[in-house]
Structure 1
Amino acid sequence: MRNTTVAFRSVIIALGAIIAIMVYLGGCGGGGGGASTGTLKLAITDKPSDDFKHLFISIKEIRVVPAGHENAADNDPALPVLAKFNPGERKIDIMTLPLIQQALGEVVLPVGIYSQIRLVLYPNPNGNQDPVNYLTLQSDPNDTKIPLTTPSSQQSGLKILGPIDVKAGVINAVMIDFDPNTAVVKRGNSNEYNLKPTGIRMIQMANVLEDFGSIIGNVSNAFQHWSSATVSIKRRGTINDTDPIAAGRIFATYTSGKWQAPFSAFVPPSDPNDPESRYKAFINANGFVLYSSAAVRVVKQQATDLGEIVLVPQ
Structure 2
Amino acid sequence: MRNTTVAFRSVIIAIGAIIAAMVYLGGCGGGGGSASTGTLKLAITDKPSDAYQSLVISIKEIRVVPAGHENAADSDPALPVLARFNPQEKVIDIMTLQFVQQALGEIVLPAGTYRQIRLVLYPNPNGNQAPVNYLTLKSDPNTKIPLTTPSGQTSGLKILGPIEVKPGVINAVMIDFDPNTAVVQRGNSNEYNLKPTGIRLIQMANVLNQFGSIIGNVSNTLQNWSSATVSIKRRGTINDATPIASGQIFATYTSGRYQAPFSAFVPASEIGWGYKTFINSNGFVLYSSAAVPVVQGQARDLGNIVLVPQ
SS of the counterpart of 1:145? strand
Selected match of 2:297 from 273, 282, 303? 303
What is residue 193 of structure 1 aligned with on the other side?
Answer: 192
Change (3 A) 1:169 1:153: same
What CA deviation, in whole Å up to 9, does each residue of 1:95-154 have, x standing for no partner?
00001111011111111111110000001111111110000000015x111000000000
SS of the counterpart of 1:303? coil
Change (3 A) 1:277 1:295: closer
**Does 1:153 find its partner at 2:147?**
no
* In structure 2, distance between residues paired with 1:67 and 1:199: 22
Query: After the TM superposition, which of the residue ranges 12-21 and 43-52 deviates more from structure 2?
Result: 12-21
* In structure 2, distance between residues paired with 1:295 and 1:12: 18
Q: How does 1:125-140 map to 2 (within 5 A)?
A: 125-140=125-140
Q: How does 1:78-97 map to 2 (within 5 A)?
A: 78-97=78-97
Q: How does 1:1-314 map to 2 (within 5 A)?
A: 13-15=9-11, 18=16, 19-21=22-24, 31-32=32-33, 34-140=34-140, 143-209=142-208, 212-213=211-212, 238=235, 266-274=265-273, 276-277=274-275, 297-299=293-295, 302-304=296-298
Letter in 2 for 1:161: L
Change (3 A) 1:124 1:16: closer
CA RMSD in angstroms, aligned pairs only? 3.6
* In structure 2, distance between residues paired with 1:140 and 1:305: 46
What is residue 226 of structure 1 aligned with on the other side?
Answer: none
Letter in 1 for 2:155: S
1:304 CA displacement: 3.8
Residues 278 and 298 in structure 1, CA contact (< 8 A), matched pair in contact too? no
Equivalent pairs, count: 242
Percent of matched pairs sharing the same residue: 70
* In structure 2, distance between residues paired with 1:99 and 1:139: 23
* In structure 2, distance between residues paired with 1:11 and 1:129: 39
Residues 12 and 246 in structure 2, CA contact (< 8 A), matched pair in contact too? no
1:269 CA displacement: 1.6
User: Which consecutive unaligned segments of at least 5 residues does structure 2 have?
Assistant: 17-21, 215-229, 236-242, 250-262, 278-289, 301-310
* In structure 2, distance between residues paired with 1:124 and 1:167: 37
Residues 297 and 304 in structure 1, CA contact (< 8 A), matched pair in contact too? no
Letter in 1 for 2:62: I
What CA deviation, in whole Å up to 9, does each residue of 1:225-278 have, x standing for no partner?
xxxxxxxx9969859x99899xxxxxxxxxxxxxxxxxx98532225431x437
1:169 CA displacement: 1.6
Residues 37 and 169 in structure 1, CA contact (< 8 A), matched pair in contact too? yes
1:296 CA displacement: 6.2
Change (3 A) 1:30 1:210: closer
SS of the counterpart of 1:182? helix
What is residue 3 of structure 1 aligned with on the other side?
Answer: none
1:87 CA displacement: 1.0
* In structure 1, distance between residues paired with 2:54 and 2:5: 20
Query: After the TM superposition, which of the residue ranges 40-49 and 163-172 deviates more from structure 2?
Result: 163-172
* In structure 2, distance between residues paired with 1:22 and 1:90: 16
> Normalising by structure 2, what TM-score?
0.68
1:72 CA displacement: 0.8
User: Which consecutive unaligned segments of at least 5 residues does structure 1 have?
Assistant: 1-5, 24-28, 216-232, 246-263, 280-293, 307-314
Letter in 1 for 2:297: A
What CA deviation, in whole Å up to 9, does each residue of 1:47-76 have, x standing for no partner?
011100011000000000001110111011
SS of the counterpart of 2:151? helix
* In structure 2, distance between residues paired with 1:8 and 1:243: 21
